[in-house]
Structure 1
């Protein structure tokens, strides 16, 4: 039986329909908001997956180009691998849901969000996040804590709930908040240097709106939710746990209190060997459970160290940033490089600038067609001292690259200020916490080294959290390292400038963050950011005035838009000829702006002259050096500009009488001619003798001087 539920969000109807489609799914719902429609399917395996020590949740965000009336580009006319945006949306849906499943639940759970129809005013990813929560709540899957998601814009100091396309274009803030009725679970933000207090108020505004949607989901679950399956939760045998704990705790605690990371890891490895040897005979078939208890003890010891002993693993103060080192101009042939080191985390970013023709073409559901600024992030296995095959970028790499890109995007110069395509590649050389924010810092250094006139330098920091079991106690940590991220409760990344925040990404491992935690974290992150910005400024205070000698130069000229076809020529023949003869790259805009890019100034000047000649208007009284193209008995036709010729009448060829045109000129000769008239039909009349006369007069004047 089909059911329809409706509520109002930001003055628009949010509608949920279930029981109509996908009868074989545990729960399948159609969620619509305006004319945007997303299908959500939630399913779980009947039995837990054997031999794993994690919760196997997968979230898929499937974009269908028919949803925006497009046919996929390329030779294969169907959707291929997920776009970067689809991957980012799937990650955003996963993060707030995962911590709310029961501990020890190891059944495979899959949530598939298929975008069926898109109205640009209503974002499908926001709809999918709400739909995923509701589908889980209505299903028999053991999940019963609704989360809601809203987006917030900021226009003229006023917060806008779920802004439309036009409002998003005008907004200084693009904020997404996901929350339960009690706490904030996830934050994503991109902004134009927003103040911390304003950002906090925006998050609280979103939180209050989320509560209303949660209430809607709770009512739906109470009325139509399926009976929840009682799950089989993985639990270690109590006797085994007690024995391992009694034997191992002192050794693990001693190892975990070692300050040096390498020495601590070596000590832990030896402790694990000792523990496995001790229990290898008695619990030969349950050594995975032994390892599970060891992991639990490590986590417990680190958390107690922070909460009870008020001590961090490396003995830093809770608000202290690790030692920082900045360096630029490492690589001789690249356009710009920055090496940023914070403790044992090290990222090198390389900046490359290219012609506007190198923009990335986008084939997605949004209205954006291309990007002229790209940031890519690589996380090889050697960065953590491991050995594994090198593959293409995974979801993590794509997510971290997108976050760094978002942090720097508001600071990039406009196309008019800097007519180049910009690509940044961050190579993680060593990882011990927050490489994504180190990428922001390394990218700032690389951009300044490359001479890109960004508005201001940016820096990023990752904040952590450790809470008591009942969430009543909490300690906030600045600049978390790997062990604090691994055993902690929060990864709160904040990037920005001296003026304000440009990007935020927050996810938690607990049932959300308190309001006070969010407020204090933003304040402490600002202090850390200012400290890092000071280090960047000490290294390179501003963008270099000159580009790298190996970077291409852009030369700009403007022509009448009506003349664009003259430059391109039939089938592109004219522009391709210019490119072939001069070795330049040319990009032409609809408004008549032409960008010529070349590493060779001679080639660029030649290309500019060729374009100028193609588009220049013939003017009466001007003298041109033209080429004779054909001869008749009454005169000679001379091409004075590309594709533009005029007639020199036989009487205008010389001062004396000319009997035959061939007596004075031949086809192919270059001669000076003066434009004497352009008649009503556009025909150009030329005179050689008037041009010669003026030339002789000029020579006489120069001799007299």
Structure 2
């Protein structure tokens, strides 16, 4: 049976259709918002997966180019691996939903959101997030807490709910808020240096708007939701839990109170070895249970230490940042480098400047076709002292790179100010908490070292949260390290400048964040950010005035748009000749701006002169140094600019009478000529006589 339910959100219709398609899925829905349509299918395995210690949830965001009336580019002509945007959207769907499944649920769950139709005014990723929650709520999968998602814009001080494409272009804020009836589950934001209070109010605005969508999902569950399965939840055997706790608790507590990380880890290895020796014979097949119990004991100890004793594992105050150091100019041949170290977290970012032709071409569902600023993030196994195979970037690496890119994007100079493509690569050299925000700091150093005129330096920090089981008590901590992230409840990453916030990303492991927690985290992050910015400025206060000698120099020349065809030539013959002769890179814009990039100044000057000669108009009265290309009995034809010839009549070849043209010039001679006339057919008349007289007059003067 087909069911349809509708509501209004932001003045547009939000509709769900259930029971019409996907009959063999646990739940399949079509959800639409305006003309944007997403199909969501959710399924779960019948039994828990054995031998794992995590919840195996997978989320896929499937872009279909037919949704925007496009045929995929390339040879294969079908969608291939997910785009970076697809991966980012899938991660955004996962983050608010995962904490709301029952603890100990180990069944495989898969959510597939397929984008079927896209109207640019209504973002498909926001709709997919709402659709995923709706499908889970309607399914028999044990998920019972609806999550609403909205986007928030900011135009002239006014908050805009689910802004249209035109509004997004004008907005200084791009905020996504996911919330349940009671708390905020996820925040993702990019902004143009947004003040803290403005951001806090925007999040509250988004939370309130989510309530309409939450009620919509609750109504759908009541009307046609399936009966929920009773899950088989994993829990260690009580007998083993009691035995391990009695034997190991005091040893683990003593260990977790060691402030030095290396000493603590060494002691922890010893304690775990003792635990293994103690229970190996008695419980030979229950190693996974014992590991889970040890983890739970550690978690309780650390959380009690933070929440009730107000102590941190490394002895810092709750608002204290680990020691920071900043360096630039480490690599001699790169265009810019920055090394940022915070405690045992260390990131080196390398900046590379390229031509505008080096932009990344995008083939996706949005209207953006390319981008000239890119940030990539690498997280090798050695950064945590581990041994793993080297593979391409995973979802985490792509997500962290995109987060740092978002943090710096509002500060990147425009193409007119700085006509380069910019690529940043952050290499994580050592990881002990918040490498993504360390990469923001390292990238700022690299940009300044490369001489990129960014608006202001940026920095980032990660805030943490510890809560009691009933969420009645909470403590926010600054600059979380690995242990606090591992056992804590929140990773609240905030980046920005001294003026305001440029990015936020929030992950939570509990059933959401209170408004008080959000306010404390944002304000605490500002205090920490200003401290880090002082460290960055002490290292390098402003962009270097000179680019690296190994970086290309960009030069600009403007030509008439109708001359672009002349510059390119048939099949690119003319422009390729300039490139071959000079070794430069050339990019041409539709408005007639021509960018020449070269590491060699004389080569660039030569190319600019060739372009100017090719594209400038011949003007009556101007004198040119031309080359004789043909001789006739009535005069000589002279090329004064590439492809532009004029006639010097025999009577105009010299100041005195000329009997034969060959007496004065030969083919290949270079002579000064003055343009005397251009007729209505575009034919150019030249005079060597007038050019000589003009030169003699200048010499006398």
Cα displacement (A) at 1:697: 4.3
Which residue does 1:166 correspond to in 2?
166
Which residue does 1:351 correspond to in 2?
351
Which residue does 1:189 correspond to in 2?
189
With the length of structure 1 as denominator, give the TM-score of the two structures: 0.98
1:565-622 Cα shifts (integer Å, max 9, x gaps): 1111111111110011011111111111111110001000000100110112112222
| Rounded Cα–Cα distance in structure 2 between residues aligned with 1:697 and 1:133 | 86
Which residue does 2:72 correspond to in 1?
72
**Structure 2 counterparts to residues 424-503 of structure 1, below 5 A:** 424-503=424-503
**Structure 2 counterparts to residues 404-443 of structure 1, below 5 A:** 404-443=404-443
| Rounded Cα–Cα distance in structure 2 between residues aligned with 1:468 and 1:516 | 15
| Rounded Cα–Cα distance in structure 2 between residues aligned with 1:476 and 1:4 | 43
Which residue does 2:55 correspond to in 1?
55
| Rounded Cα–Cα distance in structure 2 between residues aligned with 1:542 and 1:674 | 50
**Structure 2 counterparts to residues 277-288 of structure 1, below 5 A:** 277-288=277-288
Q: Number of residues paired by the alignment?
A: 701
Q: Which runs of 5+ in 1 are unaligned?
A: none
Which residue does 2:562 correspond to in 1?
562
| Rounded Cα–Cα distance in structure 2 between residues aligned with 1:565 and 1:279 | 81
SS at match of 1:146: coil
Which residue does 1:636 correspond to in 2?
636
1:335-354 Cα shifts (integer Å, max 9, x gaps): 11111110000001111111
Which residue does 2:157 correspond to in 1?
157
| Rounded Cα–Cα distance in structure 1 between residues aligned with 2:593 and 2:621 | 28
| Rounded Cα–Cα distance in structure 2 between residues aligned with 1:210 and 1:671 | 78
| Rounded Cα–Cα distance in structure 1 between residues aligned with 2:170 and 2:284 | 64
| Rounded Cα–Cα distance in structure 2 between residues aligned with 1:262 and 1:325 | 21
| Rounded Cα–Cα distance in structure 2 between residues aligned with 1:76 and 1:536 | 47
Which residue does 1:605 correspond to in 2?
605
Which residue does 2:302 correspond to in 1?
302
**Structure 2 counterparts to residues 178-257 of structure 1, below 5 A:** 178-257=178-257
SS at match of 1:284: coil
Which residue does 2:650 correspond to in 1?
650
**Structure 2 counterparts to residues 455-604 of structure 1, below 5 A:** 455-604=455-604
| Rounded Cα–Cα distance in structure 2 between residues aligned with 1:471 and 1:117 | 41
Which residue does 2:614 correspond to in 1?
614
| Rounded Cα–Cα distance in structure 1 between residues aligned with 2:693 and 2:414 | 50
| Rounded Cα–Cα distance in structure 2 between residues aligned with 1:665 and 1:520 | 85
- Structure 2 residue 376 is matched with structure 1 residue 376: yes
Cα displacement (A) at 1:657: 3.4
With the length of structure 2 as denominator, give the TM-score of the two structures: 0.99
SS at match of 2:60: strand
Which residue does 1:385 correspond to in 2?
385
Which residue does 1:662 correspond to in 2?
662
CA RMSD of superposed structures (Å)? 1.0
| Rounded Cα–Cα distance in structure 1 between residues aligned with 2:566 and 2:457 | 43
Q: Is 107-116 or 279-288 further displaced after alignment?
A: 279-288
Q: Is 447-456 or 629-638 further displaced after alignment?
A: 629-638
Q: Which runs of 5+ in 2 are unaligned?
A: none
Cα displacement (A) at 1:698: 4.0
| Rounded Cα–Cα distance in structure 1 between residues aligned with 2:31 and 2:581 | 57
| Rounded Cα–Cα distance in structure 2 between residues aligned with 1:204 and 1:621 | 69
1:307-358 Cα shifts (integer Å, max 9, x gaps): 1211000010011111111111111111111111100000011111111111
Q: Is 71-80 or 478-487 further displaced after alignment?
A: 71-80
Cα displacement (A) at 1:51: 0.5
Cα displacement (A) at 1:227: 0.8
| Rounded Cα–Cα distance in structure 1 between residues aligned with 2:169 and 2:266 | 52
| Rounded Cα–Cα distance in structure 2 between residues aligned with 1:652 and 1:159 | 74
